[in-house]
Amino acid sequence: MKEHCFLKSLLSIYLKVASRRRYVLFLDFISLALAVYFGYALRLTFFIEMGYAGELVQTIFIFSACILIPLIWGGVYKVVWPRASVEEYTILLRWYVVGTAIFLVLFKISDELRIPRSSLSILIILGLFFLTTTRAFWKLAFVTRSLRTCEQKRALIIGAGEAATMLARDLIRNDTDLKPIGFVDDKPELNNMLLASLKVLGTTEDIRKIVIAENVTVALIAIPSAPGHKIKEFIGTMDGLNIEVRILPSLLDIADGNVSVKLLRSVKLEDLLRREPVKLDNPEIENLIRGKRVLVTGAGGSIGSEICRQVAAKGPSELLVLGHGEQSIYNLLESFSQSGNKVPIVPIIADIADKVTLESIFKKHMPHLVFHAAAHKHVPLMEDNPREALRVNSFGTRTLAEMAGKYQVERMVMISTDKAVHPSSIMGATKRIAERMLFYVQKRYPDTSYMAVRFGNVLGSRGSVIPKFEQQIERGGPVTVTHKDMKRYFMLIPEAVSLVLQAGTMGSGGELFVLDMGEPVNIAEMAETLIRLHGHEPYRDIKIEFTGIRPGEKLYEELFYDPDHVGTTSSEKIYLSKFSPEKESLLPRVERLLADSAEASLSEAELKAAIFQLGGNGENVAAEPPIRL
């Protein structure tokens, strides 16, 4: 009768386990039954009398119940055992000990459970042996089969932090083309330690030696916080070894903090320009945005779309995404839909220079905050289209700023450019006029805080040289660079936008913030690095041709006009550029220029001269020398 009750109990447990795991539970029951049988058989020299048969069956069911129930409770049957590591076997051991303790307590307090003491110790040891051995054979069979179907590459993991350990576990559990053989780290105290059942083989200074000794074919850089110069060092140590290098994205790109094999990718130029992670003043940014209606212009562009993503993460009550191109706005909406973000989004297709449409938008939605990223940014194209550059970059900004003041927007933050400093291009001059107009409007609407944030090029934008270089490399070259000495400031888009949001919390109105762009990058050297990242040797496999500077371009870009008019802020990566107040004569002059432009009463040459007079060499800037950071 008791045996029947235990059988019924075990059957109930068996049916509660997910169907795909029942065969594991059944196998474990057989293993435990065999452990009990051999415990008795070894004690009785393999001759079990009929008198012991009933006791044997009773012990099998009681012992199995005592072990299997804790294993189920502890989640042992949720583990994918063919891909298990030491950590999962430790969980099995822990819950087996719990089950054994329950069984021993029953043995002590029950008069009916009579087992020879020598059999007791044997069956407990054999039970654990059978449970672990069946899983070990299972894993061995899985690995053998995987190796037959997939030639695994020996991989060295660079880094031994949390991200590296998570990556190692994921590689061990999943059927991939990579076989991790160990770690290296810059901390010598970690040498010979075990992480995820893999050994720390040495420091980062030993990379080359370990790669050669261990026949490594793939290096995995698993330090999301590593700055670009460190990544360059790691790659440099393996120069000439024909090693494939893959990398985990930066901390800014790993939004949820979860690391997996799927995140590994080839090293990009952006990785070599990484800087120390930005320490954002998140509470202030969140206080600025949470519960507010936020309007982002140019929302379909590279900068605008990233502003939308970061703003959405701070909990606005409504996000107004305004763009002139319907496809880019549609793509942005699709990306939000796939990410599962629940922030209410209002798509708006409009031209920021259309005053009537813009006013209807402000009247209807009454935004609290405006981030202005809409602009024409292509330097050579704007040289041929000065009227359009003036209409959008200058007049559009003025119209937007006036609407923000008229409808009591709390803050308006404009994205500016380093090309607005001593501009040599129409694009730069029209953006400089936009800066000046913004601060002129500040005087008319003091209750709205207007500020501009100036920075250089961003990697990954639609106008970046990187996609062009990559296309030229894929075609076999040549890679075209304007001048061997040309330098530009570069920043990653997520970092730039993070700093823009932080700058937006600092200003009280009328500020021009400038982001610390680091050191300027030589474009020719950048092209050489990109060619090497694609596995080629510059000038030998892929040629580099110098085409000459185009109209409007400069060899060097500047971030400030005057070193004596640069202040610091609470962030070490954000500067404050100080300037003289705009004169009252500015607005009539801009109005007249815009009217002349619209009526086409000026020739293109005259229009360009007037644009440079107001934006390039006009009053308030003429005597200010440039400064390079």
- Return the active site residues: 419
The strand pair at 574-577 and 566-568 is best described as antiparallel
Distance CA 627, CA 351 (A): 35
Question: In the beta sheet, which residues pair with residue 349?
Answer: 323
Distance CA 538, CA 553 (A): 25
CB 34 within 8 A of CB 64: no
Residue 106 C-alpha from the chain's centroid: 54
Residue 26's CB is within 10 A of a number of other CB atoms, namely 12
Distance CA 288, CA 336 (A): 22
DSSP string, 419-481: GGSS--SHHHHHHHHHHHHHHHHHHH-TTSEEEEEEE-EEETSTT-HHHHHHHHHHTT-PEEE
- CA dihedral in degrees (285, 286, 290, 292; nearest 10)? 0
CB 375 within 8 A of CB 353: no
Helical residues (DSSP H) of 340-421, grouped into ranges: 355-365, 379-383, 386-389, 397-406
Place of tokens 């107040």: 581
304 DSSP assignment: H
- Tokens representing 394 are 């200058």
Angle (deg, nearest 10), helices 19-43 and 117-149: 140
Distance CA 221, CA 161 (A): 11
- CA dihedral in degrees (377, 379, 384, 388; nearest 10)? 20
CB 504 within 8 A of CB 411: yes
Rg (CA), the chain: 34
Least Cα distance to 435 among 552, 514, 333, 530 occurs for: 514
Phi, psi dihedrals of residue 627, rounded to the nearest 5°: -135, 140
Distance CA 14, CA 68 (A): 10
Measure the CA angle with vertex 605, ends 601 and 609; round to 5°: 95
